[in-house]
Homo-oligomer: A and B are copies of this chain.
Amino acid sequence: MENKLILDGNVVANHVKVQLKGKIAELKLSGVQPCLATILVGDDPSSETYVKMKGNACEKLGIISKRIHLSKDIATEELLKTIAELNEDPAVHGILLQHPVPGHIDERQAFEAIAIEKDVDGVTSLGFGQTAFGFGEYPSCTPAAILEIMDYYKLGADGLHAVVVGRSPILGKPVSALLLNRNATVTTCHSHTRNLPQILQQADIVIAAVGKPNFIKGEWIKEGAIILDAGYNKGNIGDVEYVSCHQKAFAITPVPGGVGPVTISMLLKHTVQAAEKARKKKEDANSQFVTI
């Protein structure tokens, strides 16, 4: 009972942020101010809160937060125009379009319009394909957070059976792809899965990405499993029934304080990486100019 490993997301997030601070300082010394542009469409209160949290996390670390707030009535074309401008703006290194946008807007088209080198939130199909093929730069942030936690706590995946519950484009699908690339055997489950408890019984690694509070029960879990709960439901409740799952697990993330804080730090990390790449590209272009 006492040897449980509690995967503390705040510790991991702080570790990441400390590393980022050094990189941000270097970037600034070389004249580059890393900058994340966030686009919020409409006035959904939780979306407003999320965007504000992300912007504040940027500023706290020294990343410029360029906050764009568009009216809920805009047409898809206007959103595409905003994205195109940000794609072109050399001062912007990352673009985040807060999901969901109002229903009349073609959200997928808007996501796809984000330039791959600024897709730090990992929402484009190109970014997903590159991630699945093993050369993606910025996987979407929650899957990246899950791997960051595993790395921090030195939890390998090679040869283990990972069961991912959920198949969304920003969570279930990319985390399945990332674990597959780490040589896990990966089963992706969802609402049509017939025998979820039996499948979970085989899982060495459980990824909960359903969006249903306390959905995954301890009795479904194999003794000694690693459980990462990416669920975040109203009232700070995860997808995993914590008390019963905790009893079975070798390692488990709490909610809150698990995957959540690391997710935001992945957004910051990707933005800094994008700024570093932009700087390198500029330097390479300059040095080429000199030699000519």
| A residues adjacent to B (C-beta < 8 A) | 108, 124-130, 132-133, 135, 158-159, 161, 167, 169, 173, 176-177, 180, 183-190, 192-195, 199
Instruction: Check A186 against B187 for contact (C-beta < 8 Å).
Output: yes
Q: Which residue of B lies closest to A199 (CB)?
A: B185
Beyond A173-B132, A187-B186, whether A159 also contacts B125 by CB under 8 A is: no
5 smallest CB-CB distances across A and B, nearest first, come from A129-B129, A125-B129, A183-B192, A187-B187, A128-B129
A185 to B187, alpha carbons, bound, how many Å? Answer: 7
Contact check: which of B108, B169, B185 meets A189 at CB < 8 Å?
A: B185
Across the interface, do A193 and B185 meet the contact criterion of CB distance under 8 Å?
yes
CA–CA, A189 and B185, complex, Å: 5
Copies of this chain, count: 2
Given pairs A132-B173, A161-B194, 20 additional interface contacts (CB within 8 A):
A124-B129, A125-B129, A127-B129, A129-B129, A129-B130, A132-B169, A133-B173, A158-B192, A161-B195, A173-B177, A173-B180, A176-B188, A180-B190, A183-B192, A184-B192, A185-B190, A185-B193, A185-B199, A186-B188, A187-B188
Which B residues are in CB contact (< 8 Å) with A126? 125-126, 129
Residues of B within 8 A of A158 (CB): 192
Q: Tell whether, in the assembled complex, residue A192 and residue B129 are in contact, meaning their CB atoms are under 8 Å apart.
A: no
Q: Which residues of B contact A128 (CB under 8 A)?
A: 129, 132-133
Complex contacts, A189 vs chain B, CB 8 Å? 185
Q: CA–CA, A199 to B37, complex, Å?
A: 45
Q: Which B residue sits closest to A194, measured CB to CB?
A: B159
Q: Which residue of B lies closest to A196 (CB)?
A: B185
Give A90 to B241 CA distance when docked, in angstroms: 58
Tell me the complex Cα distance, A78–B102, Å: 47
Give A260 to B209 CA distance when docked, in angstroms.
37
| Cross-chain contact A183 with B187 (CB below 8 angstroms) | no
- A132 partner, pick from B132, B159, B199, beta carbons under 8 A: B132
Contact status B173-A183, CB under 8 Å: no
Most B CB contacts (10 A, CB to CB) among A130, A132, A195 go to: A132
